Amino acid sequence: MESSNKVRLLIVDDQTMLREVLAALLSQEECFEVVGQAGDGPQAIEMNKLLRPDIVLLDVMLPGLNGAEVHVRMAEENPAPKVLVISGQENPAVIQRMIKLGVNGIVHKSSALNCLKEAINQVMDGHTYYCPTIAKMVRTILLDPSAGQDLLSTREKEILQLLAEANSAKEIAARLSISVKTVENHRQNIMHKLGIHDVVGLTRYAIKVGLVSV
């Protein structure tokens, strides 16, 4: 198959070995071309702009910017890539959030490689694909919407992730181009909404909902 007819893939995952193994396996397929790899959110956004892949294989938990924020920013590009989430997450709130954001599919990391190949082909054909593990979670969410209840706004999640990654209010303010006072106000609102009153508790919550890894 000619290179121009291959599905061009960008793999985004903070685990280097997993990313490289996946790239090697997918590159063996005649119909796929791995055009790049990224290990964090900001790098993924820049590589997407530079490489213009057909599909981004995107992990949810990434340093700098989590997968949800990366997807939001990629969706603003023209043309926007299709996004296939590859995640080990089993938290209904995380899965529901990605679905609401309009990702093209979700494959659990416990799935077989053939499942991922099928997902890529289905997404390229314009379909939405959920592996069996994720499909089961989607059914649970449909039966009990509160299982995936999302309490925080997009900005609050972004700040929560940065707090959990041990950034100071000053560092967060500089990164997001907002004032330190605004960061502190968001932190207080987050604590109030979650009923959590210290940064350690916020960090535990961020890990629980998949904004950061342990």
Could you report the per-residue pLDDT of 173-208, keeping only the tens digit for each? 999 999 999 999 999 989 888 878 888 888 988 887
Statement to judge: residues 107 and 161 lie in one domain: no
Q: Which residue has the higher pLDDT, 214 or 189?
A: 189
Cα–Cα distance measured from residue 76 to residue 134, given in angstroms and rounded to the nearest whole number: 26
Statement to judge: residues 175 and 196 lie in one domain: yes
DSSP secondary structure code for residue 86 in this structure: E
Q: What is the CATH number of the domain that holds 203?
A: 1.10.10.10
Does residue 213 form part of some domain?
no
Domain that holds residue 198: 151-208
Helix (H, G, I), strand (E, B) or coil at 197: coil
> Per residue in 62-114, pLDDT tens?
887 888 889 999 999 888 999 999 988 777 778 888 888 899 999 999 999 99
Q: How many other C-beta atoms can be found within 10 angstroms of the C-beta atom of residue 181?
A: 10
- Whether 211 and 161 have beta carbons less than 8 Å apart is answered as yes
Q: List, in order, residues 6 or more apart from 38 with CB less than 8 Å away.
A: 10, 11, 12, 44, 47
Statement to judge: residues 139 and 156 lie in one domain: no
Cα–Cα distance measured from residue 32 to residue 23, given in angstroms and rounded to the nearest whole number: 10
**Burial, 213: exposed, middle or buried (Cβ in 10 Å; 0-12, 13-18, 19+)?**
middle
Helices (H) and strands (E) in the chain, counts: 10, 6
Cα–Cα distance measured from residue 109 to residue 56, given in angstroms and rounded to the nearest whole number: 15
Cα–Cα distance measured from residue 192 to residue 156, given in angstroms and rounded to the nearest whole number: 12
- Whether 82 and 57 have beta carbons less than 8 Å apart is answered as no
Question: Given this model, what pLDDT does residue 1 score?
Answer: 43
Q: List, in order, residues 6 or more apart from 125 with CB less than 8 Å away.
A: none
Statement to judge: residues 84 and 45 lie in one domain: yes
Cα–Cα distance measured from residue 4 to residue 7, given in angstroms and rounded to the nearest whole number: 8
Question: Given this model, what pLDDT does residue 2 score?
Answer: 46
pLDDT higher than 60, residue 61? yes
Cα–Cα distance measured from residue 186 to residue 156, given in angstroms and rounded to the nearest whole number: 6
Cα–Cα distance measured from residue 85 to residue 95, given in angstroms and rounded to the nearest whole number: 10
Average pLDDT, the chain: 88
Entry pTM:
0.71
Statement to judge: residues 160 and 76 lie in one domain: no
